[in-house]
Amino acid sequence: MSEQRRIGYHWNLRQVMAQRNLWKTTELIPLLKARGINLSNAQVHRLVTVPPERIPARTFAALCDILECTPNDLFEPYIELRATATANAPRRPEDIGVRPGDPIARRIRVIPPDHDG
């Protein structure tokens, strides 16, 4: 069986903007408009401060053009979690001592300790 992975990503828009001396999200609005991307102040603020789950390809391309960078500069994937498949796990309950029809948990009664004193 193959390895299981969960992929995350770093959204580096704020850092790339800072490298280009763009410090405010509002500075990005006219630059986007000049490339046909009309976003509100709130949308641009979210785009800069919160890693997007989805981004239109034209917006992504416009950001790369504005910042003179590549998509790899803005979007950096990484492996969040890596786990091997459970190839060695038992395939049947009987292999770990559980028989069909037997209860897995049993009721117990806790008896308080005797206090001699």
pLDDT in tens, 46-62: 999 999 999 999 999 99
The tokens of 70 are what?
């590549």
Band of pLDDT at residue 117, cut at 50, 70 and 90: low
Whole-number mean pLDDT of the chain? 85
Please identify which residue in the block is written with the tokens 């091997």: 84
Please identify which residue in the block is written with the tokens 């990484």: 78
Cα–Cα dist 83/46, whole Å? 33
| Whether the predicted pLDDT of 98 surpasses 60 | yes
Residues 6 or more apart whose CB falls under 8 angstroms from that of 6 comprise 79, 80, 81, 82
- pTM attached to this predicted model: 0.66
Q: What pLDDT shows up at residue 89?
A: 67
Q: Is 52 or 96 the better-scoring residue by pLDDT?
A: 52
Q: Assess if CATH 1.10.260.40 describes domain 4-83.
A: yes
| Whether the predicted pLDDT of 88 surpasses 90 | no
Long-range pairs for 39-47: beta carbons < 8 A, 24 or more residues apart:
47/13
Cα–Cα dist 78/82, whole Å? 11
Return the domain boundaries, the chain. 4-83
Cα–Cα dist 24/88, whole Å? 53
**Residues 85, 1: contact at Cβ < 8 Å?**
yes
Please identify which residue in the block is written with the tokens 């069986």: 1
